Structure formats: C-alpha cells, structure tokens
Amino acid sequence: MLKTVRGAFSKDKSSEALTATVIPRAGHDISRDDISPNALKVLYRLNSAGFESYLVGGCVRDLMMGLKPKDFDVATNATPEQIKATFKNCRLIGRRFRLAHIVFGREVIEVATFRGHHAEGGEDDSKPAGKQSESGMLVRDNVFGSIEEDAQRRDFTFNAMYYSVADFAIRDFADGLKSIEKREVRLIGDPATRYSEDPVRMLRAVRFAVKLSMDIHPDTAAPIYELAGRLADIPPARLFEETLKLFLSGQGDATFMLLREYGLVQLLFPQLVPFIKDDNSREMQFIRKVLQNTDERINTNQRVTPAFLYAALLWYPLEEHTQKLQAESGLNNHDAFNIACGEVISRQTQRIMIPKRFSTVIRDIWILQQRLPKRFGRRAYQLLTHPKFRAGFDFLLVRGQTEGGDLLELADWWSVFQHADPGKQKGMVNSLRRKEGSQKPRRRRRRAKSNNGNE
C-alpha cells in the first residue's frame, strides 16, 4: 500500500526558477488557421472573463514542428470552479489533478489550472494539497500556482511552451525550441526526481523519441534503467491506456524496440522476458511482424483492435504454459490450453488491466488457433461464420509466415478457401479428406455378436 505524506516535497532543488523567452508573432510560424476554432473560443472567452489563458504542451510543440496536433490543451490561472462557471458546456474530472473538459460535440478542449509547487511542511487543510508516496510518486496534485511554476512542473522542455491569442507570442520557459532544433527529448529538472514523481514519464520519453524522430538526451535516459521497476507502482488501468498510446500510434514496432532497449517492455509484460532476448528468435520475429502489420493498418486508416496485439504479445507465453501444464499435471492439450488461457491473461492483468471486452476477443483468437486445423465435414464452413474468424485467420497467417512449414500451408489453405466459390470449397474439403484419409490406417470394424453370444 502506498503511504502518502503531506507537504514533504517542493520544487526540484536542482532546477533554477524558469523565466520565459518570448518569441513574438514575427518569430514563429503558428497561425490561428492551424488552431482548432473551439480551442480559440476557449482562449478568447477566458481572456474576456479576465483570466490568462494559453495553448500549451504538445499542440504548441507540434505546430512549431510543422505537424498537425491531435488535440489542443489550454492552461489558465482560472481555478476549475471558475472555469466551470465560465462555460456551460464544462465538466470537471480527475482526482490526482483536477481538470476541466469543455465539450464541443465530439471535440473536447482540456483546460488545466496552472500547477504550483508544493510547500514544505504545514498542515493547512483549508487549501488544496498535493500528496506524495514514500517512493516520491505524486498521488494527488491539486496545488495551483503561476505560469512560471506551471512551466517548471511540466515534464519535457518542448512541452513548456505557451501560445497566447492576446499577443500571438510564444513563451518558451525551458529552451523547448532549442530541444526541437537539436531533436532531443529532455526532461525539465532532475530526471531521477521527475521519474519518481511519475514513472509513466519513462514511457512518454520513449514515445516522444519515436514519434518525433528524436534522441533521448543522455541525462534523461540514464536513470531509466535503474528506475524502470517503479512502473509496478502505476495502476494497471492507467498502464493499459499508456500502452494504447505506445503501440497504436502507427509506430508500434520502433516503440517496442526502444522500450526493450531500456528494459521497459520487460516491466510491462513480465511473461515476455524469456522470449525477447534474441533478435532473431521466432518469438521476436512474430511480435515485430504483428506490430509492423498494425502500423501499416493504422497508417492506412484501417481499423485495429488492442485485443489482436495483446493476443500476439502473450501467444508464446501461452504455448509454453500449456506445455508446462501438460507435463506437470498430465492434462490433455485441450484442457491445458483452456486453463493456460485464463492464467496467462490473469497474470498480465496484474501489471496491465485488460478490459473484458478485449480479453474475451483475445481468448477467441487463441481458441481459433486450435480449431482452424480441424477442417473436415461441416467444420470449415462453420468456422467461416465465427464472429472472430477474420482476426483468428489473420493471427494464423502471421504465425505461418513466421514459422513456415505445416502452419504456413494451413494458413494458405484458409486464404484460398474463404474466398472460393461453393463448388471449389467443396472440392477443397473433399481433397483434404482424401489426402488425410490416405495417410491414416483404416480402422478395423468389429464383428457383431449373435444374440446368444456365440460367434
């Protein structure tokens, strides 16, 4: 259990107070035409109500890099309650840090109050307080402050840039523009302290490095190897959301390899540890092929499901555990496989929560790997009507492409069968029956006994 302490931490002592470098409108290329109209509405209304407001974080970074932001976040000196009073379409969320969501149909503009430093000592319960675990992780962070304090509380240098519609200038508090020019992912403040406050920052460092084609600065990278284990303190539900950002970004393969380099995959998927040591192993080839296929689908605007990815990441642990159960308990393959499915998923959910809507699909994909080799009689036709046939076949195809042999032959058979006309399908099943029948010895028929028991 995490023990929390009040008022026992303050701003990073290794960081001096941040002051902004102001980049005037003439010094940057950000245009209001590139900004969401709804985000502009939020900024102008907050300003009209007498508050400061800025676009901040990833959207400013992306605009400065000539990229299209996925969303637009706003920072302000208005408190959450003041924000809610200003917007009828506002809802407040969050416990660790209170946020306002301004809802415009399908678009949500997230508005955060400037975060402040935590005062050392003091037990004034009348003021919003932050809490920190004994390991240094922030578990509650409702402490508000100035824009300078907010900038220092942000994670990476390129995320501490603020754009104002009052003067169209950018306030760069941590040399974020320099990090962009140098293509560096660099933390603000002491990296070990910042990772201890929120271990997910290690995952974010890797994600940004891949997404932005940057290198992680040596000072930012060095503590990751030692502190990777702190990810075990993160709630499994939050880690599920983070893995979606990591692997469903269109750059999942490169992200996986960098996570592996820093020892982070091993913390996210402990059951994978024995299988990812050798780059040339069939396990690594299979995982990378699935990730590459997923990247291609995402980058061509095709649908993907996290269930397929999780099924792939846990497939070889499932095979190994099935064999172990058979050897130790004498179970047949069918029973051992079904028990192993539940146990492998259960072990994974201790580290990363997998919602039931996905864990059910994972099991369907796995079970289809047992059923797809059985194609006699009506079975082949029945499998085509299975709701998850396509996912199960795609999974089988990648396995076949990785392992070759009979598995690839099976995948090729299904590739043809599912698209063939009824006549050809019937011929394929009959041909398979003749081929398999010729390889099996005929079973001797038992002679019937007479009524009196004499032959």
Beta strands in 79-236 (DSSP E): 90-93, 99-104, 107-113, 130-133, 138-141, 161-163, 170-172, 184-185, 215-216
Report how far residue 358's alpha carbon sits from residue 270's, in angstroms, rounded to the nearest whole number: 19
Provide the token pair at 152.
């220092």
Q: Looking at residue 451, what is its pLDDT?
A: 52
Residue of 161, 157, 149 whose CA lies nearest to 55: 161
Of 1.10.10.10, 1.20.1270.360, 3.30.460.10, 3.30.2130.10, the CATH number of 17-182 is 3.30.460.10
Q: Looking at residue 117, what is its pLDDT?
A: 73
The distance from CA 69 to its chain's CA centroid, rounded to whole angstroms, is: 18
Q: Looking at residue 147, what is its pLDDT?
A: 95
Low-confidence ranges of the chain (pLDDT < 50): 1-15, 120-131, 136, 138-140, 438, 440-441, 450, 453-455
CATH superfamily of the domain spanning 284-436: cca-adding enzyme, domain 2 (1.10.3090.10)
Active-site positions read: 71, 73, 155
Q: What are phi and psi of 395, to 5 degrees?
A: -65, -45
Report how far residue 178's alpha carbon sits from residue 158's, in angstroms, rounded to the nearest whole number: 8
Q: Looking at residue 118, what is its pLDDT?
A: 57
Residues 6+ apart with CB under 8 A from 441: none
CA distances from residue 26 to 35, 167, 378, 441 in whole angstroms, order as listed: 17, 11, 72, 85
Report how far residue 177's alpha carbon sits from residue 415's, in angstroms, rounded to the nearest whole number: 51
Q: What are phi and psi of 129, to 5 degrees?
A: -125, 155
- CA torsion angle for 221, 223, 229, 235 (degrees, to 10)? -70
Residue of 164, 128, 127, 161 whose CA lies nearest to 51: 164
Provide the token pair at 411.
């995948």
Report how far residue 113's alpha carbon sits from residue 81's, in angstroms, rounded to the nearest whole number: 10
- Is the Cβ–Cβ distance between 394 and 376 less than 8 Å? no
- Is the Cβ–Cβ distance between 264 and 230 less than 8 Å? no
Q: Looking at residue 377, what is its pLDDT?
A: 84
Report how far residue 342's alpha carbon sits from residue 332's, in angstroms, rounded to the nearest whole number: 16
Measure the CA angle with vertex 182, ends 298 and 216; round to 5°.
Answer: 60
Report how far residue 91's alpha carbon sits from residue 120's, in angstroms, rounded to the nearest whole number: 32
- Is the Cβ–Cβ distance between 206 and 264 less than 8 Å? yes
Q: Looking at residue 134, what is its pLDDT?
A: 55
The runs of H, that is alpha helices, within 65-130 are 80-86
Task: Parse the chain into domains and list their residue ranges.
Answer: 17-182, 284-436
Per the listing, tokens 């890099």 go with 65
CA distances from residue 237 to 49, 94, 133, 349 in whole angstroms, order as listed: 37, 14, 19, 9
- Is the Cβ–Cβ distance between 118 and 7 less than 8 Å? yes
CA distances from residue 450 to 443, 446, 454, 455 in whole angstroms, order as listed: 22, 13, 6, 6
